[in-house]
Structure 1
Amino acid sequence: MKRILITNDDGYQSPGLLALKEALSPLGHVMIVAPASEKSACGHGMTLTRPLRFIKLDDDFYKLDDGTPTDCIYLSLHALYEEGFKPDLIVSGINIGSNMGEDVSYSGTASAAMEGVLHDIPSIAISQVLQDKNYFGFDFSLAKETIYNLAKKILENGFPLQKREFLNVNIPQIPKDQCKGVKITELGIRLYGNDAHLHRNPRGEEYYWLGLHPLNWKERNQQESSDFSAVMNNYVSITPITLDFTAKKSMQPLQNWIMQ
């Protein structure tokens, strides 16, 4: 039986995580290890300054006390799986909200998949685009069908990417019958507005809330090959992501500049 490890950055109670388990359970043995609380935008952070503790919620369902998505993957592979019996696939999600463009560099969802491929395990990050503030009554049917088909294909035919590469999937917020298909995309450009909002507490002390700027889809001028463009046009976006951050095209110009 195939072994599948799933996590997220929205926390163990997220409906997206439970939808992911429902979608993947027919394909093999699914283990859930998720953060005990929401860890959105935590990036690839790993906890090195305090101990971590698994809290068992059910058979093959754990929350990691104050752990990050990266902690969940790293510690699961070293503590819950025996050598020689590692997962065949790691899936992170279903995130409530998109992870496109520069979002990927902040995303705990994407970072869990990143951690997976660092351990040479095929990995997918999947996110459900949120274009309004209604977190409830989410229809995950398109996301569930997409991840089931992707996972089945990987488990049967192998992973289509190179080492240290993972799949970043974004699902448009539309009924399943309105989806036009799947597009292989590149990361677009995320337009961040003023995300630092100043407030004062009753004592007059200043504090800030970050990340309150809405994602304005109508103000984008994206390449047709971008993840944003695909989702805006009712396609599922699948972007291959590599962990090699080297700006290879700049290496020779940099060498020339250094030698001047």
Structure 2
Amino acid sequence: MKRILITNDDGFESPALLALKEALTPLGEILIVAPSSEKSACGHSLTLKSPLHFIKVDDDFYKLHDGTPTDCVYLALHALYECSKKPDVVVSGINLGSNMGEDTTYSGTVGGAMEGCIAGIPSIALSQMLQDKNGYYHGDFALAKKVAYELVERILTKGFPLDGRHLLNVNIPDCSIAEFKGYKVCELGYRLYGNDAHLHRNPRGEEYYWLGLHPLEWEEREGNNSDFKALFSQYAAITPLKLNLTSYGHMERVERWL
């Protein structure tokens, strides 16, 4: 029996998490460890200054009190699995909202997959594009479940296509199965950001800022095979990511600069 570890960053009550469990249950033994509350945009962060504890939700389903997706994967691997019985794959998602371009550096969904990658386990991050930027999804996750099943089944039967310290980042278009055009292997696009920090005052007159949501915009470049372009063309975008961020092509330039 294959073992599948699932986490997310939208929290243990996310309907997309339950949809992922339903999709992958035919493929093996599922263990879910998810944050007790939403941890969007927490990146690849560990909780070091407060205690963490598991709360059982159901059989093989735990929430980690105030934990991040990275905490969930780290502790699941070290506390819930025996050393000789690690999961065959780590799946992080299904995130409510896309994670493309530089958003991958903010993403808790990608962060959870990174932790599985560090542990030497094939890892994949899954994100569902939303037309409603407020994060509400009105679909039935049918396409997301199809994509999750097909890709994880391929990993379990044919092996992972990447070497160590690499993971797959997958974004799913907001369309029906009938409209779905298939898969494209893509590079990360150039995400465009603006200033969406809103200044307010509380009832005591103290100033505070609330960060808003940026429109899903990117820079088109000649010959660019971006995840943005694929997704808006109704393809699922698959991007191989590596944890080593070294810019090897610039090392000599930095040496000269020194």
- Tell me, yes or no, if the aligned pair for 2:9 and 2:68 is still in contact at 8 Å: yes
**Equivalent-residue separation in structure 2 for 1:202 and 1:78 (angstroms):** 45
> 1:164 corresponds to which letter in structure 2?
R
The within-5 A match list for 1:92-241 is 92-132=92-132, 133=134, 135-216=136-217, 220-222=219-221, 224-241=224-241
**Equivalent-residue separation in structure 1 for 2:125 and 2:240 (angstroms):** 10
**Equivalent-residue separation in structure 1 for 2:53 and 2:21 (angstroms):** 22
Aligned to 1:25: 25
Aligned to 1:39: 39
Task: String of CA shifts for 1:99-158, please: whole Å, max 9, x gaps.
Answer: 000000000000000000100000000000012146143331111111101111110111
Aligned to 1:257: 257
Structure 1 runs of 4+ with >3 Å offset: none
Structure 2 unmatched ranges of 5 or more: none
Shift of 1:215: 2.3
* Helix, strand or coil at the partner of 1:55: strand
Shift of 1:29: 0.3
**Equivalent-residue separation in structure 2 for 1:214 and 1:220 (angstroms):** 13
Task: String of CA shifts for 1:178-208, please: whole Å, max 9, x gaps.
Answer: 1111100011011111121111122221111
Aligned to 1:245: 245
> 2:244 corresponds to which letter in structure 1?
D
**Equivalent-residue separation in structure 2 for 1:181 and 1:224 (angstroms):** 19
Q: What is the percent sequence identity of the aligned residues?
A: 64
**Equivalent-residue separation in structure 1 for 2:122 and 2:251 (angstroms):** 30
Q: CA 1:250–1:124 in structure 2 vs 1: closer, same or farther (change >3 Å)?
A: same
**Equivalent-residue separation in structure 2 for 1:201 and 1:155 (angstroms):** 52
> 1:175 corresponds to which letter in structure 2?
S
Aligned to 1:67: 67
TM-score for both structures, normalised by structure 1: 0.95
Shift of 1:253: 1.6
Shift of 1:176: 1.3
Greater shift, 190-199 or 234-243, is seen at 190-199
> 1:248 corresponds to which letter in structure 2?
Y
**Equivalent-residue separation in structure 1 for 2:140 and 2:253 (angstroms):** 49
> 2:150 corresponds to which letter in structure 1?
N
- Tell me, yes or no, if the aligned pair for 1:131 and 1:215 is still in contact at 8 Å: no
Shift of 1:252: 1.4
* Helix, strand or coil at the partner of 1:56: strand
Structure 1 unmatched ranges of 5 or more: none
> 1:150 corresponds to which letter in structure 2?
L
* Helix, strand or coil at the partner of 1:159: coil
> 1:137 corresponds to which letter in structure 2?
H
Greater shift, 167-176 or 203-212, is seen at 203-212
Shift of 1:2: 0.2
* Helix, strand or coil at the partner of 1:176: coil
Shift of 1:220: 4.6
**Equivalent-residue separation in structure 2 for 1:16 and 1:243 (angstroms):** 26
**Equivalent-residue separation in structure 1 for 2:255 and 2:137 (angstroms):** 53
Number of residue pairs the alignment of both structures matches: 256
**Equivalent-residue separation in structure 1 for 2:103 and 2:60 (angstroms):** 30
Aligned to 1:12: 12
Q: CA 1:224–1:140 in structure 2 vs 1: closer, same or farther (change >3 Å)?
A: farther
- Tell me, yes or no, if the aligned pair for 2:130 and 2:137 is still in contact at 8 Å: no
